Structure 1
Amino acid sequence: MSPRTALRPALRTGTAEPWVDDPFGRAVRAGRGPLWLRRADGSRLALEVERWCAPAAGADHGLVLRCLGLSAPVLDLGCGPGRLVAALLAAGVPALGVDVCAASVEHTARLGGLALRRSVFDRLPAEGRWGGVLLADGNLGIGGDPGALLARAGALLAPGGLLLVETAAQEVDEVADVRVEGPDGAGPPFRWARCGPAATLRRARAVGLERAERWDSHGRSFLALTRS
């Protein structure tokens, strides 16, 4: 299954879609977890629903700061409940979110932001003209192919634009089959990736992106990338 197919919003075809027909939307509407990514081997990774639904804080402010003064608006890929879109708008930075989950799009709107319900691999407005593109909160894992996602995100940037990527804090490089799991059940399986700073940078350089900055904040790790 391609990343595009794996992440397209459900259109009532009878096939369950990850992040759409699973507990994620219910958790966003409730504003709390618990919620996990459950691997096929039984191990699981906690999802920080409460932090995502709360106002921007901590390391989020570093992302917003790096968007100030960009020559064009910012696109938040996999925006979730919209806290970064809202924080950017509050700082005077025009921003748009993109997410496959209807609950995330609705939550972003309640915060005063704008988000589109679609896959990051679908056609998006102003392709090649965004001053900044965000891949935060583990969204580098979208589609299970970090190289393809980084190439897609880089293609959305305007010349001189900045791609801000949150990596795994530790040096990990893995792709796994996972499900979104909550107390009331689990959704369909899909591919998900996790990459630390070094693995992310290797993939970025392979698709024509170069490191502009690397930083750590509040236990989280980030890279700023530009098109070479």
Structure 2
Amino acid sequence: MRERARADAASWTEDPYTEALALGRGPLRLRAADGWSLALDVERWCAVADAADMTVLDRCQGTVLDIGCGPGRLVAALGEYGHPSLGIDINAAAVARTVRRGGRALRRSVFDPPPPPGTWDTALLVDGNIGIGGDPALLLRRVAGLVRPGGLLLVEVAGEDVDERLRVWMENARGATGTPFPWARLGAPALRRVARVSGWSPVDSWSKDARDFAALRRG
């Protein structure tokens, strides 16, 4: 798992991602060697929680761990909701921005030694973070060790029925690129398949403002 953490950290802790966070805007894309690309919504990540985010926060229960919290909009909003929460992210600029917004955050990967395991009531994998490490089954098993039995995992999924394992890199408008790293994309059907073999039971799904989500409960 530590090897997986180092592979992901290679690009998420360097320019052009750190530069985009500092500016609060893109353009920033993930790219793959076969021409595949995906725009990253840096502006939304750096803004306040929006209506689609609120549908996730409304479902949170108890203590909340936001995995890959980025610049902290969800952690900040959870504080306003009264949920004890913690964000974890491997990017120092993201953690610093979360703290400036009044949230609690630690610089670490989900594959590093975790915050108190088995104690969190809810975990979040939003903004495509089901892709962390490029192996969703491994990631879900890891998160199962962090959440208490019966706890929730709220996941943002791709809008289409997709199940992709990719090697990608970051690229900005100037063509500057980061180090390649493993990533994944799952739609709702693929997430349900992976969840059932990774210690989770699908319990809900919903859409808001062209974004799609699913709730899983730890078995």
- Match of 2:51, SS state, is coil
- The aligned residue for residue 4 of structure 1 is 5
- What code does the residue aligned with 2:129 have? N
- The aligned residue for residue 182 of structure 1 is 172
- The aligned residue for residue 195 of structure 1 is 186
- Match of 1:213, SS state, is strand
Aligned equivalent of 2:22, options 29, 35, 39: 29
Equivalent pair of 1:22/1:181 in contact (CA under 8 Å): no
- The aligned residue for residue 106 of structure 1 is 96
Do structure 1's residue 227 and structure 2's residue 218 form an aligned pair?
yes
- The Cα shift of 1:153 comes to 1.1
CA deviations over 1:93-125 (Å, ceiling 9, x no partner): 111000001110011011000111111111121
Q: How many residues are aligned here?
A: 217
Distance in 1 separating the partners of 2:195 and 2:69: 21
Do structure 1's residue 170 and structure 2's residue 160 form an aligned pair?
yes
- The aligned residue for residue 205 of structure 2 is 214
- The Cα shift of 1:22 comes to 2.6
Give the alignment's TM-score, normalised by structure 2.
Answer: 0.96
User: 5+ residue gaps in structure 2?
Assistant: none
- The Cα shift of 1:159 comes to 2.1
Distance in 1 separating the partners of 2:168 and 2:115: 30
Distance in 2 separating the partners of 1:7 and 1:34: 20
- The aligned residue for residue 79 of structure 1 is 69
Aligned equivalent of 1:41, options 34, 47, 52: 34
Runs of 4+ in 1 over 6 A off after TM superposition: none
Distance in 1 separating the partners of 2:116 and 2:51: 30
- The Cα shift of 1:222 comes to 0.9
- The Cα shift of 1:161 comes to 1.0
- The Cα shift of 1:21 comes to 1.7
Percent of aligned positions that are identical: 53
Do structure 1's residue 90 and structure 2's residue 67 form an aligned pair?
no
User: 5+ residue gaps in structure 1?
Assistant: 9-16
Name the Cα RMSD after superposition.
Answer: 1.2
- What code does the residue aligned with 1:44 have? S
- The aligned residue for residue 44 of structure 2 is 51
